[in-house]
């Protein structure tokens, strides 16, 4: 790269952050970080009727949630601002006048049009390769409006002006903008400016091959935050939507992706969105994350459910279900019984297990056998339960299933022995007694 890399993400704040926009931001960020360059956030908010402060905040929140930071932008400042198009009117007026004075514009019923050169324009795209666009046919390629009769600007004009002013070296955007690129190249030439290099990434498609719209499942980044996906999992998945490290790896720390990101490894064909794959990456990410990070992500969901977020045993409790969690929204329900002695009993589990003849006797026997048990850990508890079962004799399952319901109220959950260890002897024996008291007389 002859000059320092400068890329930009230029969203329009009109409602939410689409997964396609988030991936575009991510690829630009990865490219900038790989090359030690600058990532610019530019807000295209010239449509005053559709743009809102709330929608802008959604963009900020979504990018930050994904772990994407920007070097220049509306809130970060920088030497090439303002970074909101609504604040750049005098800049656009200057460039408009430059084009007008040079004879590139003409008035068409109050709208101002840019006069295309009627020639073949070749786009040398970093991903799509060389593509020629023929401007000879005026009906197919009519002259482009740059300013509406009401004085407002058209996207193409302000986009090019901002790329010039902000010294953008590479434009990485969705393939749906590919047909705009020859028009932009003509504007750059008319303004006497060196154009950036372009790279158009494949569209994100639904499983049926249709283009993903804002109404489709998984389309909004906000949906991932609300449904309890770890941000690093969503970011990991988005990295793989159209890009590949070429070694079949699917779980990659972001530092590895930055080190390896290359536009040459961006796929040419559309990227099919697969929410099941995203779920798998989410589960794998949770399984492999540190207990500190897992606790950090779990705490807001525990608080929302009214559960303790700083209990001394919290890490141990969370670890019991860590291997089974796909979405953080599941955690509170999975561990709620650890934090109350007044947990409910699942009626189906009671009917299937505790109502069976001898089930309560098994709980009583196990409690008596464990009363003097030392040390109180999973291995010792497992050995004791199997010892008691062998003495009956019966299968260990005849003790395991009633004991699980007695201490959790549920038929399924984490490893019984580890669950008993984390609960501690006093609480386990008390829960055995509570269960006996509840169902003995029933």
Task: Give the active site residues.
Answer: 214
Q: Which tokens in the block code for residue 263?
A: 């536009």
11, 21 in Cβ contact below 8 A? Answer: yes
**What are the Cα distances from residue 166, in Å, to 88, 193, 404?**
12, 12, 63
Residue that has been written with the tokens 């007044």 in this structure? 342
**What are the Cα distances from residue 412, in Å, to 324, 336, 346, 354, 378?**
12, 14, 10, 14, 18
As a whole number of angstroms, the distance between CA 47 and CA 34 comes to: 33
CB atoms within 10 A of CB 405: 23
DSSP-derived secondary structure for 276-305: HHHHHHHHHHHHHS-HHHHHHHHHHHHHHT
Which residue, 191, 181, 195, 196, is CA-closest to 95? 191
3-state secondary structure of 312: coil
3-state secondary structure of 253: coil
* Phi–psi pair at 126, nearest 5 degrees: -70, -20
End-to-end CA distance of the chain: 79
């Amino acid at each position: 790269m002859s000059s320092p890399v400068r890329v930009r993400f230029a969203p329009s704040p009109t409602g939410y952050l689409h997964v396609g926009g988030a991936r575009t931001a991510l690829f630009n960020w990865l490219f900038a970080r790989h090359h030690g360059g600058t990532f610019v956030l530019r807000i295209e908010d010239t449509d005053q009727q559709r743009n809102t402060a709330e929608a802008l905040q959604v963009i900020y929140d979504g990018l930050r949630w994904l772990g994407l930071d920007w070097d220049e932008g509306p809130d970060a400042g920088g030497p090439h601002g303002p970074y909101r198009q609504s604040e750049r009117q005098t800049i656009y007026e200057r460039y408009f006048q430059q084009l007008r004075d040079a004879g590139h514009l003409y008035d068409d019923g109050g709208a101002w049009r840019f006069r295309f050169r009627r020639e073949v324009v070749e786009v040398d795209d970093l991903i799509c390769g060389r593509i020629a666009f023929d401007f000879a046919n005026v009906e197919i390629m009519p002259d482009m409006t740059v300013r509406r009769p009401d004085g407002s600007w058209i996207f193409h004009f302000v986009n090019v002006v901002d790329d010039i002013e902000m010294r953008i070296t590479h434009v990485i955007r969705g393939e749906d903008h590919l047909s705009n690129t020859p028009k932009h190249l003509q504007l750059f030439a008319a303004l006497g400016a060196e154009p950036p290099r372009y790279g158009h990434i494949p569209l994100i498609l639904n499983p049926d091959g249709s283009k993903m719209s804002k109404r489709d499942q998984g389309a909004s980044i906000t949906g991932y935050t609300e449904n309890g996906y770890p941000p690093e999992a969503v970011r990991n998945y988005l990295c793989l939507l159209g890009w590949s490290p070429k070694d079949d790896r699917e779980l990659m720390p972001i530092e590895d992706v930055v080190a390896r990101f290359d536009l040459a490894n961006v796929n040419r064909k559309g990227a099919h969105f697969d929410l099941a794959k995203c779920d798998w990456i989410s589960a794998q990410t949770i399984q492999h994350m540190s207990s500190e990070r897992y606790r950090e992500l779990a705490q807001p969901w525990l608080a929302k459910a009214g559960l303790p977020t700083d209990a001394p045993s919290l890490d141990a409790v969370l670890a019991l279900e860590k291997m089974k969690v796909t979405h953080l929204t599941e955690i509170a329900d999975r561990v709620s019984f650890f934090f109350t002695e007044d947990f409910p009993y699942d009626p189906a589990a009671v009917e299937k297990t505790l109502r069976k003849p001898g089930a309560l006797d098994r709980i009583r026997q196990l409690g008596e056998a464990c009363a003097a048990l030392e040390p109180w850990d999973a291995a010792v508890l497992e050995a004791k339960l199997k010892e008691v079962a062998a003495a009956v004799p019966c299968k260990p399952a005849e003790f395991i299933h009633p004991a699980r319901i007695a201490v959790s109220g549920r038929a399924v959950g984490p490893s019984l022995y580890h669950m008993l260890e984390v609960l501690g002897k006093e609480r386990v024996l008390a829960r055995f007694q509570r269960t006996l008291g509840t169902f003995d007389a029933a």
